[in-house]
Structure 1
Amino acid sequence: MQVLGPLRGDIDGVPVHLGSPRQRAVLALLLADRGRVVPVDRLVDGLWRGRPPQKAAASLHAYVSNLRRVLEPGRAPRTPAGVLVSAPPGYAVRLPEDAVDAWRFEAAVRRSRTAPPAEARRLLEEALGWWHGAAYGEWADEEWAAAEAARLGELHAVARELAVAAALASGDPAEAVPAAETLVREHPLREEAWRLLALGLWASGRRADALAVLRRAAAVMADELGLGLGEALTELESAMLTGRTEVLRTAVPAASQPVSTESRPGASKVVAPVADDLFVGRDDELRVLEEAARDALHGGGVVLVTGEPGAGKSALLARCRRRLRDQGWTVVVGRCPEFDGAPSAWAWVEALGALARRTPPADPDALGALLPETGHRRRSDRGDGPADGTTGSVDAIRRGRPGECDCGEEARFDEEGMPADAGTVVASGGRGGGEFAGRFRLHQAFGTWLRSAAAQAPLAVIVDDLHRADSETLALLERAAGLVGSPVLVIAAYRPVDAEDRLTQALAELAHRSPHRLTLDGLPLSGVDTLVRAVCRDRVDAATVRALAERTGGNPFYVRESARLLASEGALVAISEVPQGVRDVLRRRLRQLPSGTSAVLQLAAVVGRETEVGLLVEAADPAQHEEHDVLDALEVSVTAGLLTEPAPGVVRFAHALVRDTLYTDLVGVRRARLHARVADALRRRRPDDVAALAHHFACAASPRTAALAVEYSLAAADLAERRYAHDTAVELLTQAIEALARIPAVADDGRPARRTGQLVALLGRLLRAQNRAGAIVAARETRQRAIEAAEAVGHQELTAAALDSWIGPGRALSGPRGLVEHTALDVFVDRLLARAELDPAVLGVSRPAVTDGQDAWAAPGEARQADGVDQTAGVERRLAVARAVGDPLLLACALTAEAAVAPVGTVDRRTSLATELRVLGYAHDLPANSWVREHIGAMAAGARNEVAKVREHAGQGLAVARRHRLEESEAINLTTLGMLAHVEGRFGEAEATYTQAREVLRVHGSPHGDLVRVLGLTTVRLSSGRPGEAEPLLRTLAPGAVPTVDLALAVVLARQGEDEQAYALGRRSPAAVPVVPDHLYGIALTLRAELAVLLGDVDSARELVPLLLPLRTQLAGAASISFVTRPYAHSLGELYRLLGDEPEARAQFALAEDVAHRWGSRHMAEAARAASAHVVPHG
């Protein structure tokens, strides 16, 4: 029988149903008298509280009969009862002492008093484990239960004190101290508990803490009882002050000298084992980490740890951290914040702050943005912000002589897109004051510091919760992982289910380092058993453990929380009623807390995963929670295992799931009000914590807090940009714009608030940040919104300001044409001319659309010619204006526009453009233009059939695109890699790469993703002889939208013998389908040529020959480095054969075979050779 907690009965280990509440009360009342006979009158009076019904005796008899059948199911009819017996004048329970847990408990405590310390400790720990709640807790308000419950409660407290004393007497103060601390928290008026805690601390070498405990005890006794310390505590205090260690040795014989817990060389630390330190079921994973560390000693390494929430990732990393430190490693840890409002790159600020204390950097100024001491300095204090003016190379740029900048075509560049001598150039101050160069210097200094630290001792960098990382955190992680040759081990943990696109991209980069991968699954049954027993401190039956293992899937956090619930509510609940989700378990545990505790926890959840106690006290509503109420609630929560105390005055949620459950359960209005209270308190306590203040004021979402939300969001965005976390800056600026909309339309002084100018300015900053972050599609939308806002009030200066924000490298590479009226562009150009005090007559232009033509590469199918007007006509005039104004961004746009409209296959001019753009990109922080240079360089190499250089430029461009999060640029580089795989006959890889490019574009909102995939797969399937597989792909796109798609579908149909449909698509003649000189020009020409041959269209063949001849030494499409079909000469050979010129046909096929060999394309060479063999000699 169990009465220490919910009443239950077992027969041979099988639970039995004890019936209705009143029937259960009959049994409890009899058990409370410990075997003595209880008169019927007393039973009736107790059951019905002195007001029995008329047939109370009959009802009592029925209850007794039912209980007898339950308790003795095998008893034969009409035989005397052996358990619940009748004895005048009533009934009694006849059971052996060890059959009732309360009786067994009392006997164990009695035996422990005379047993040796080790045996007493075992007896008491076992006995205390039998408690599953308050004795007779179901009847706490019944008079008949009160006396016995109180007696057993007192005996329980005594037993806990005896257990602590036994632990001390066994020489184990580390075990005794936490148990004693819990005792004084729960029973602050028991002097024996205070005495034992002080003894345990003294024995652990913490005499100062022990004396502080006695002072706490004195304060409690004085406040609560008006008394001083008792004799035992007074004597102990005296012994501590006078150094009489014989008092200590009497209580703790093994502690002849107090044990020091301070670190000493060669000495191990004494660490008090607590439940949270329990490490179960991850020994194999820990061995993998240790093996990875041994491998990393010879040149570095990467480990990626994944698992669902609560799988034990953080616990594994903590254990690994201790192991590595014991082995002589320098270990630094950074945690990506699991809540909003933390500063950007915080994981590295945290980790590097720890590293700086151990191994200071040689050049702290170069790392100022990432060091906690200097991270908040303004850009002007550092002197390395983006240059507003021009550098020493501007004169050369204005003269149009980029070669004078010592950055010619043959110069060497590293993977960052920087000159190989960038360090020397930057150090000399010759150029590179921009943010791009600043970020480069920061990353270089970061890598140098880590290598230097690793040279002194192997370095392990642990980054937890990587799924919450911002872009700069990930970029620095990639940098650390790339320190090949140094003993630097990077260990990162994340939840795959919460991984966002930027993490996916970073993981793709880390894959090149062949990382060790660890996936944490659920614990095995043995691990669940160990964890449950550790929490419950009881013999939990195997069936209950199996039930918990099945329900929780072995998730350690879920198991731990379920075990805590089991300890408080019993095994019956665990088997039949435990909620199915860990959040439901947490909610159930939260409901068990005292009134008011949940409200304080909700306030803590609004602050974040970790918070200062003082902040909670200040933010709490004084009408509901005074200081002592907040402290009491936190103490209860720590005791319940929901919070931990990582440092004095700081509390932290035991797991992110606890905080998330509390936060998500808050109703919106209440959540906003709590954010407002936290924001106000935080502003008083930490006014420089701009990221947190921005978050809380924004989440308060009220007109009162809106202006402050704007102010702090902008300050936090400044900090993010100083750390090059541009995606975080985008989020903060978006937040500022949303807050701006909540500012009242009428100011406090009654005048209308003028918000349009503020809105355009904020949109301009957002636009620039989006460009920096590579979100070009979003930037286009922001640009249009800014222009519409300015034009709505008819303010030309605001319109020009919006355009000024937009002018930049990304626009030249993406975006549909026609989003901005030419009049708006004219306003912007006029503003530039006026600002530069230039005479338009001198330039020979009145109001040139300097930026017109930037979108020439906007989308497949958009031409150099619009409405019959050649866009190349204005290029020289744009360049003249841009060079005269001296604006590097404007010049970059003009150069890019020229490259975009340059004739297909142009080599020399594109090479010089690429060189000048490289100079601009480096000198003026234009990372997208550094990418453009690589792109144009690849195009020039493609026109020259230089395959190795195409691959090199594409690889460097891809590195720049990924490093600066230029997603559309990354997709273009992926199409180049797909093209190369196609050329070399790796058709499956080519299709997969084109599909990957589509996904990159789709994720970032580009409308061109499907077109890229369809064209890429179509060209591959045509080359590999699978036209039937291309047809359904092509039909997914709208007919007529892109002429090249119509041509491709016509060729596919013609190859399959569907000439009529092919004719229809070709409008009865291939020549009728327009072929515009865009980046699809090459493949469109060859498709049109093949269609003419398949349909026998001689007239079209004659028209196509002069178009193809200037390009005959190239591979069709290679100059645009996205898609290819075949060498131009192959198409010429087929056209000449159709026209009857067999010698010229053979010559062209031979040339096509040579071009194919230069590209390493065996299948294209074989196709040209086979085509030549089918040329019938004339005559």
Structure 2
Amino acid sequence: MRVGLIGPVSARSGAVSLRLGGLKQRAVFALLALNAGRVVPLDRFVDELWPEEPPARATLGLQSYVSRLRRELAAAAAADPEVPQLLTRPPGWQLDLDPALVDVSRFEDLVDRARHTSGAEAAALLAEARRLWCGEPLADLQALSFARAEAVRLTELRLDADELALEAALVAGDAEAAVIAGSRFVAENPFRERGWRAFALGLYRTGRQSEALAAVARLRRTLADELGLDLSPETAAIESGMLRHDPALTFAPRPDPVAAQPSAAQPSAAQPSAAQPSAAQPADDRLLGRDAALAAVDQAVSRACSGRGSLLLLEASAGAGKTTLLRAVAERTTAAGGHAVAGSGVGIGAMPALWPWVTIVRAVAALLPDDGALATGGAAGQALTLMRSGGPAGADRSQTQLFRGVVDLLLAARAGGPLAVVLDDLQWVDPDSRTLLALAVDELVEHGVLFAVAVRTEEPGTEEVAATLRGVRRDAVVRVPLPGLAAGDVAEILHRLSGSAPDTEVAAAVHRRTLGNPFFVGEVVRLLVSEHRLHPAAVDEALPTEVEEVLRRRLERLPQQTVALLTVVALAGPIGVDTLATVSGLDADAVLDACESALLAELLVEHGPGFALRHDLIRQTLERGVSQARRVRLHARLADALRARSALSDRSALSDRSALAPEEIVAVARHLVLAEPAVGPAAVPYLAAAADDAMNRNCYREAERFLDQALDLASRAPDREEGARLAGTVRGRMSVVRTWSGQQPAATVLDDTEPDLDESPAGWVNIRLTRALTGRYAEAVEAAEHALTVARAPAAVAAAHFVAGWGQCVRGRLDESDRHFRAFEAIGGLQVPAVGVAAAGYAALVAHCRGDDATADRHETRARVRAGTNPAVVMEADLYAAWLRAMRGDADGCRAWAAACAAAADLGPLYGIHAEMLLAWADAALGDPGGARRCDQAYDRFAASGVLMFAPFYLLLRAEAHALAGHAGRAAALVAESAARSAELGDVCRVPRLLRLAEDRVQTSRKP
């Protein structure tokens, strides 16, 4: 595409002329073309199109012109891929066009090249430049001041080119051409001495000496009569030389000093001028005045590259530039040949546990080639599996394996080069994330990993952060200085944002009122520039006490629709375009158009496929401007938008909750909690779903937090019956959480309420199994088989078959159990790893008890494959393997698998209790004389937990241990106790080997 500005504004793609619209739209295009390849700020457009007071809808109108131009360019691009794009580049727009395709730029380039050559070559360049003129520059935009100024500048440059052409002709030896062109030139431009000199020299060299002297005399009279000036020394010298017949005049004139410079009449619109700040600012504009901080960063990066890591701590108030410096840490590490991974707290409210580390682990995995993280095996691979699946991961208690895995992943990434781990807004992250940070720092700084964290002071959470950091090794912490900017730095920011020479009084006023806070400085200056009030008195008005008033006034200049969308982003956090469209009722294109104003005003930034606010202070300002009633409605609409999107994305979902990712479940729950006045306790099922997700990852503290919130909401439900129903489903889950986290014995789980099977199959399984641990196996089987009499979705049917199969296994009804587990597998199972592993594990036990050990081995292999590298699920598979070995009498195998399960017992205390019992039996079976005593102790702890499942089985293992120790009477008593417990609980041991042992003990006890 070629653009013409010398003449009426035009653009052509091939043989087709683009339709550039009316006066203001053509002016927008002209400004973009004059600055092709560079950003033109929004304020410049407003100033040029509305030089007086701009209308309230100026920005909206400007966006409309840009949108129309984009459509025209897009239509032309269909036939010509070389047609440029019109890009949004804060703080304005950029035409992505090679300047050489704009006639003005081409003209300037030709003239500049001609200045640096001479003779025929210069003449040819200038002739080509002259052919570009086809009328007055920007002829159809002369109603606008910038177009008039540009036309004057270009006309002046054209006259310079004409004079250069006269001189080039003389140098080339074509004095006659210089005379012919010079005669015309001086007639049209009687005050241009340089042209007169060339004309006179041409006359002199063609032998017309008297005419040459007459030409100089005519110039003298014109200057004296019209301007009251004398001849310049250069012209007077030429006249004197003519009178002396100076031989030097027969040669080419020396280059005129004036000729080497462009005319100073007007600055080029294609170059930054005093009235137009440069679009291409240095990358570190926002790091002005941060020399000391950057020095600390550079030193830390250098040390890290040489193998000595550290923790850079940035503590300062909002707006001090912490995030910008963290970005500098990442950029400098990358520039040194390394990598940077980042996570952040979120100021809007809840997020899943360990979420900052989820993003970090995902980024680390991308650094390791061919899934190298999994190749590392062990804890590292397990951590990757948990974290990469999304949502909370790991256990609530020590989480040793998970944390070990994250540290191993970071260590593997550091092996490939320098590594920086960056955490922003540490005051908002959860306690587990802070703990993991402290552990990682203590271990990894010695391996050269660089950590950088930012903490906003005077915010809730800072005391907790300080407590965490006090536990970090002191020699690793480097506090980065972040004082307020100096007055000189403020003056430089003023210069760069306004494009004018800094006024020292204005700079001093801004510095005084902002205390040098970089964010505040930038916001105040932007506001005053946009209001054309850059003077000291206006500074005091712009910033009474807080930057909030400045932000409000900047927001008032934006279109109303844009501010409405910004408010949604403030309440939602980072948000996709589709969700914004749903909440606002606009289509996606309208959302993009409306957000563009905020992007250009640098209030909004692009965030993946959507947007986020540039700074949390903007969020706070917007939130304070929303009434409570409107806020409630917006949160309700945000929740609806997320639920609707999930339903559209998965038509086969049982419910919208089952189609949401863990972070989306938390987001919906949060919005519904805040929308409670309008939607009532609608958040309860989502809080319960979030708890289910946390429980599936053994994250008990997070699960309990969600459930506490759900119970509180249920207690406030206007409909008491509904509130009681909701509270019942939550209390059941709470019992599960407290049981499996070791907070209460399983025997206390007597609540009859449970999650709905269709809505939450995993939650239903959890509560059914936990309640059945107290001996209610028949009830679990009855509930499951009843559930199977109703048509349900596959996941619900699989859940019911699993519970029925599990219950019949414990009851010793092996054929029925086998039938249900086969049905479970035929359906495809329940897509919850722990349930799939449990189904295969119990099926293996059933197969052994039925005398089919080959099938038992196949089931055990299936359980191991399903467990993958998830540490919590691997722990369960280890327990099933240990049970199977104990049933077979394989003490060595039982000990190995039970020890593996016990090593991970912090992930599930009840599993540790089972493992301890199996380890004690294995010791006894292997000849340890203290094994029988430890069996008794382990069984006592098992009984104290309230868990009754497999009590008869464990009593028989104890009996065997005492028999091996020579305690025949004690063994017989335990066999009798096992039989009594079976009759009481309905828990029947069908292990062939142990049944034979029981019969032997009975026969022995009957002998006289």
Taking structure 1 as the reference length, what is the TM-score of the superposition? 0.41
Taking structure 2 as the reference length, what is the TM-score of the superposition? 0.47
